[in-house]
Amino acid sequence: MTQVASNLQIDSARLWGTIHETAKFGATPKGGVRRLTLGAEDKQVRDWFKTACEAAGLEVHVDTLGSMFALRRGRDMSKPPVGLGSHLDTQPTGGKFDGVLGTLAALEVVRTLNDAGIETEIPLCIVNWTNEEGSRFAPAMMASAAYVGDFTVDDILSRKDADGVTVADALEIIGYRGDSAVGAQKFSSFIELHIEQGPILEAEGKTIGVVDSGQGLLWYDGRITGFESHAGSTPMRLRRDALATLSEIVLAMETIAKKHGPNAVGTIGEAVIAKPSRNVIPGEIAFTVDCRSADAAIMDALDADLRAATAEISARRKVEVALDLIWRKAPTRFDPKLVDAVEAAAKKLGFSHRRITSGAGHDACNLNTRIPAAMVFVPCKDGVSHNELEDATQADCTAGANVLMHTVLALAGVAS
């Protein structure tokens, strides 16, 4: 295969322009984007994307779950394409980059290859996956999960939003219930560019994250039952305080995650006191726990340590603590050859880089169970995502798109 020189670069201004052009679909007053999957704004960005892909000479087809596939023919059409892309839906108060960068950078890669007159050996296929965010319909990343067979298509089509609208209805309403069978579009590999959604690259001054793994996840629902009593007349030694119990669990989770670090995190994100009152000792609290690690053995250790700590705290304080594991997701180990290809592209282009674990879930993590997959990360400001304050620099987005392009070219080859 022909090598492509590292001076082939995407058009930074054009990429930046498309990111800001599409950000108007669902733009919020604070500079963010509200573009819930399969809603009116999602239809707008989908229509824009379809038109742009067709203008770039791509053949667009849509599957039964609304995922969009834009094919760029290669010299050898007997081989499944190299996939690249991400998602265009956002959180209810999301930003301009989460998902959008990976999808529009894929378009920019194709536009650049078109401008340079480069034909790849293997075809390329840009993807916009339906409902990565999961804010309107559960679960998150449902289209890629159905693609790899983790859910049936009928199951996903019947999922409802808070207003009782099904995925099937929502697809019909915006005209994106496509003809292609879910899973019919095959890929030889899949590469997803994304903002990191964490602070590591920024803190270490690195431009490119070569994502070699994704964290496995443990989700728990917890409930503490102490005894609600009068804040004035109950002596400290006779209390069974649910909030003091939770406080020990929160700090134990922090200690346990640090002990198994740096490759482990643990968070209590929700904690609701039943019937809270300024002068009543909390008697009952519902809470959730989110524990993650990219290492299955560490996940086991997190679970064991959390349960041991909780049992000790519960017994000592004479307070009941129920801790139910409601979801366990195995860690992702991205395809080593693809990870190497991403790293080689970053090196060839001279970007500072490091191997990194994805803390968040992505469509590429789902796909990796069936297709060789990998990801490219670029820094985001203060590690903030799922927030209107989400931000990334033009230079970093451009660097990520160039790494994406050179990785894809290495995988797809250039027709000689």
Taking the alpha carbons at both ends of the chain, their separation in whole angstroms is 7
The residue from 148, 244, 301, 415 that contacts a second copy (CB under 8 A) is: 244
CB of 87 to a second copy, least distance (A): 16
CB of 276 to a second copy, least distance (A): 4
- Could you say whether residue 268 binds a second copy (CB under 8 A)? yes
Pattern 174-213, a second copy, x by CB under 8 A: ----------------------xxxxx--x----------
User: In this structure, are residues 192 and 364 in contact, taking their beta carbons and an 8 Å threshold?
Assistant: yes
- Residue 169: partners with Cβ closer than 8 Å, 6 or more residues away: none
CA–CA separation, 345 and 351 (whole Å): 9
- Strand duo 208-214 + 353-358: pairing: parallel
Distance of CA 199 to the CA centre of its chain: 15
User: In this structure, are residues 37 and 92 in contact, taking their beta carbons and an 8 Å threshold?
Assistant: no
Cα–Cα separations (whole angstroms), residue 357 to 117, 126, 376? 35, 24, 11
CB of 287 to a second copy, least distance (A): 9
Q: Which of residues 356-385 bind a second copy (CB under 8 A)?
A: 358-361, 382-385
Stretch that binds a second copy, among 21-29, 57-65, 69-77, 260-268 (CB under 8 A): 260-268
Stretch that binds a second copy, among 35-43, 143-151, 264-272, 392-400 (CB under 8 A): 264-272
Q: Between 166 and 267, name the residue whose CB sits nearer to a second copy.
A: 267
- Could you say whether residue 270 binds a second copy (CB under 8 A)? yes
Report the number of secondary-structure helices (H) and strands (E) in the chain. Answer: 12, 16
- Could you say whether residue 271 binds a second copy (CB under 8 A)? yes
Q: Which of residues 279-338 bind a second copy (CB under 8 A)?
A: 279-282, 288, 290, 292
Q: Between 171 and 319, name the residue whose CB sits nearer to a second copy.
A: 319
Cβ neighbourhood burial of 79 (10 Å; 0-12, 13-18, 19+) = middle
CA–CA separation, 84 and 383 (whole Å): 24
DSSP state of 360: S
- Could you say whether residue 39 binds a second copy (CB under 8 A)? no
The residue from 128, 215, 314, 368 that contacts a second copy (CB under 8 A) is: 215
Distance of CA 409 to the CA centre of its chain: 24
- Could you say whether residue 231 binds a second copy (CB under 8 A)? yes
Q: Which residues bind a second copy (CB under 8 A)?
A: 196-200, 203, 215, 217, 219, 227-238, 241, 243-244, 246-248, 250-251, 254, 257-258, 261-262, 264-273, 276-282, 288, 290, 292, 358-361, 382-387
